[in-house]
Structure 1
Amino acid sequence: MRMYKIETHLHTAQSSTCGKVEAKEAVTLLHESGYSAAAVTDHFYKTRFDSYGDIPIAEKISLWKQGYEAAREQGERLGFKIYYGMEIRFTESPNDYLVYGISDELLAESPELFRMTEKEFKAFADRHHLFVAQAHPFREHITPADPKNIHGVEVHNGNPRHDSHNEKALAFGEEHNLILLSGSDFHQTEDCSRGGILSKTLPQNDREFADLLFSGDFELFHEDER
């Protein structure tokens, strides 16, 4: 049976200041590495939005999503699925959370999601069928979330420039019966194909991708299995 390889954690140079690869190139690299899809999860931080200056919030959203839009366009050229996500950080803590299932309509209604508390955002996510997973919960300066405030946890983070203590993340996820994720945390070309999930089906849109994550019906992939 064919298994579809999906990248869950991708940053672009257009929309994440730490991203060093343009969206078009990143999608091409993933496609050439055997992936069928990727979720663009650019940083959704107050500091990022402040850097756009004194312009309307709708314009800031448009600037922030440039990476996703460029990735989607390249994906359409290659027959490669792109899902709309974010890596959000709330003003109350330095923790990072991967969010899947977002939409332009949702961001138009609630553009400053980073002002919520983690508890408030979990309730918001449940109302809008968003899947929330804590990213790299055991990195330095990061605190494991209250399990009640997340659906899943990233237990394999492939970024080679950080020690994410993946073994601790796995133990945490298993202890609290959370849905387990793997992702490359793609920022630079060397990060390509260092993580992701393997699915028997290929979600056709953002809602189906969130459904897949909620189901837990997938396998984890990481660089040792390339």
Structure 2
Amino acid sequence: MEYKYELHTHTGPVSQCGRVAPKEILRMYMDKGYSGIVLTDHYSPLTFYNHNYFAPQKKIDFYLQSYREMKKIAPSDFTVMLGVELRHYGTANDYLVYGVDEQWLTEQGNLMAVWEKEMYQLMHSEGYLVYQAHPFRPGIRRCNLDYIDGVEIYNGKTPKESNEKAEAWAKENGKLMVSGSDFHTPAHLARGGIITQSPIRNNADLLDALRSMNFEMIKTY
């Protein structure tokens, strides 16, 4: 049996650029035959512009609201996991972080003020994985390869040429690879993700799958 998982999703209440409520995202992905989803709302200056810009940790309940809602209403056979798309102050670079949980996130300070090297060390101290998202979009700087585990080599909102450059960069440097839709609106539904032969029931399963790359990447050009 095959299982499909979305790894890059933004919700309306949290990500300012998101346009769809958590319950609708859940319904849409279930209708498309997905078995689970990772919510990666923007943890960025734009998200917290009106929510304690310099102390986002004080508004962590705001950040977690979509995850908590979807987790509460999802049926038992649909896995909802928490991720982060992190952007630091003064940069256009985005980093997808997989493996995080509510308790850890609520105990952190301002992650936007933790730069690449320190971010990577912090995430690795917890066993999390860090991927640079859509690294060949205009205005984005390819990061120091020492500070990422992998690369989002297929992004559903990014042109084919840029995705192909990302894939070549990842392969040349021996990095892990992943695919995600970068869902913001219904037009982005089910453009990416991964297909596994075994179910992913929690973050531990997700990290094992990502490290082994024992999956097929969804690409919908």
The TM-score bracket by the shorter chain reads over 0.9
CA distance, structure 2, for counterparts of residue 142 and residue 56 of structure 1 = 25
One of 178, 183, 198 as aligned partner of 2:175:
178
Aligned to 1:163: 159
Percent identical pairs in the alignment equals: 35
SS at match of 2:109: coil
| Residue of structure 2 in register with 1:212 after alignment | 209
Q: TM-score, normalised by structure 2?
A: 0.93
Which residue, 126, 129, 132 being the options, matches 2:127?
Answer: 129
1:108 Cα deviation from its structure 2 partner: 2.5
Which of 112, 115, 118 aligns to 1:114? It is 112
Report the counterpart of residue 41 of structure 2 in structure 1: 42
RMSD, matched Cα: 1.8
Please say which of residues 206-215 and 97-106 is displaced more in the overlay: 206-215
Verify the 8 A CA contact 1:41 1:85 in the aligned structure 2.
Answer: yes
Paired position in structure 2 for 1:88: 86
Alignment partner of 1:120: what SS? helix
Query: Match for 2:6: what amino acid?
Result: E
CA contact (8 A) 1:92 1:117 kept: no
Per-residue deviation, 1:49 = 2.2
Matches of 2:84 and 2:55, distance apart in 1: 20
State whether residues 14 and 66 of structure 2, in contact with CA within 8 Å, keep that contact through their aligned partners in structure 1: yes
Q: Deviations over 1:91-117 (max 9, x none)?
A: 252200101111122123213111111
Distance 2:5 2:137 in 1: 23
Following the alignment from structure 2 to structure 1, what is the Cα–Cα distance between the partners of residues 99 and 52?
Answer: 28
Give aligned pairs, total: 220
Is the Cα–Cα contact under 8 Å of residues 40 and 82 in structure 1 kept in the other structure? yes
**Which residue is equivalent to 1:192?**
189
- Judging changes above 3 Å, is the alpha-carbon distance between structure 1 residues 172 and 24 closer, same or farther for their aligned structure 2 residues? same
Q: Distance in 2 between matches of 1:51 and 1:108?
A: 19
Q: SS at the partner of 1:170?
A: helix
Q: Aligned in 2, Cα 1:57/1:156: closer, same or farther, shift over 3 Å?
A: closer
CA deviation profile, 1:6-57 (whole Å, cap 9, x unmatched) = 1000100011000011111011101110110110000001342241148975
Q: Confirm or deny: 8 A CA contact 1:193 1:222 kept in the other structure.
A: no
Unpaired segments ≥5 residues, structure 1: none
Identify the residue that residue 32 of structure 1 maps to in structure 2. 31
Q: What's the counterpart of residue 152 of structure 1?
A: 150
**Alpha-carbon distance between aligned partners in 2 of 1:148 and 1:179, rounded to the nearest angstrom:** 13
> Which range moved further: 66-75 or 24-33?
66-75
Distance in 2 (alpha carbons) for counterparts of 1:89 and 1:54: 13
TM-score, scaled to structure 1 = 0.91
Question: CA offset at residue 163 of structure 1?
Answer: 3.5
Q: Secondary structure at the match of 1:207?
A: helix
Work out whether 1:201 is the aligned partner of 2:203.
Answer: no
Segments of 5+ residues of structure 2 without an aligned counterpart are none
Please give the secondary structure, in 1, of the residue aligned with 2:217.
Answer: strand
Q: Match of 2:25, SS?
A: helix
Q: State how far apart, in whole Å, the 2-side matches of 1:192 and 1:33 are.
A: 9
Counterpart for residue 51 of structure 1: 50
